[in-house]
Chains A and B, each alone.
Chain A
Amino acid sequence: KAGVTQTPRYLIKTRGQQVTLSCSPISGHRSVSWYQQTPGQGLQFLFEYFSETQRNKGNFPGRFSGRQFSNSRSEMNVSTLELGDSALYLCASRRLTGEVNTEAFFGQGTRLTVV
């Protein structure tokens, strides 16, 4: 069974640009969550999608948005990039069929560098 796949692995963008990151969950998993990881702040929750609906949201500005498609694949978009958005962006998938508390499995992440 394939794991969680994130693309691209590495990305360099300029301040003010926008970026879209993609996450394909494990087959059969319906929940996708996104996290930002920086050395100083650890793992910060961005949002979670389940059945194409946002279920939970962290404390990030509106420049960070996401969506989920009918095949459970998810995209995350960051507009008007700032230097501080440089981070490892991680996606995690969970099965969530009838039970809330199932394990989360992570992708390898997308390393975003804003210059």
Chain B
Amino acid sequence: GQQLNQSPQSMFIQEGEDVSMNCTSSSIFNTWLWYKQDPGEGPVLLIALYKAGELTSNGRLTAQFGITRKDSFLNISASIPSDVGIYFCAGLSAGGTSYGKLTFGQGTILTVHP
């Protein structure tokens, strides 16, 4: 089945530092989504990417849809304490029996020290 490898698994950074995380897949995706989850809550959509090569920003967040359609990265600039949480990538599949199914990465746990 489809798998998404998300790295790193966890990050411990100082406030003000930039953060980068990425996801790679063995399959092609039509859409990449990035979510943030706070403890005990549902994931909140941060950025959606629809085209290979697309680079999209949302405030201090920037994400890119890889040219091969098998990878994506998320950057957070000038981190602040409220950036703490779990970040998930998700890919929407291109075809076959998994058409339209959302596949998630394992998540990156981000800790920001003031």
Q: Which residues of A contact B (CB under 8 A)?
A: 4, 6, 33, 35, 42-43, 45, 48, 55-56, 88, 90, 92, 96, 100-101, 103-109, 111
Contacts and interface: CB of A to CB of B under 8 A. Distances in A.
B102 A108 contact: no
A104 B100 contact: no
Contact of A100 (B33, B44, B92): B92
Main secondary structure of the interface of A (DSSP, over half): strand
Given A43-B88, A101-B30, A33 B102 contact: yes
B41 A108 contact: yes
Contacts, number: 57
Nearest to A110: B42
Interface of B: 30-31, 33, 35, 40-45, 48, 50, 88, 90, 92, 98-107
A106 B101 contact: no
Given A45-B101, A55-B100, A101-B50, A106 B44 contact: yes
A105 B45 contact: yes
B43 A42 contact: no
A33 B31 CA distance: 17
B30, B100, B105, B106 pick with most chain A CB within 10 angstroms: B100
Contacts of A101: 30-31, 50, 92, 100
Nearest to B107: A42
Contact of B98 (A4, A56, A103): A56
Contacts of B105: 42
7 contacts: A35-B104, A43-B104, A45-B102, A103-B33, A103-B48, A106-B45, A109-B40
Contacts of B48: 103
Contacts of B40: 88, 109, 111
Contact of B42 (A42, A55, A100, A106): A106
B103 A45 contact: yes
A4, A42, A55 pick with most chain B CB within 10 angstroms: A42
Given A42-B107, A104-B33, A56 B100 contact: yes
B96 to A, nearest CB: 11
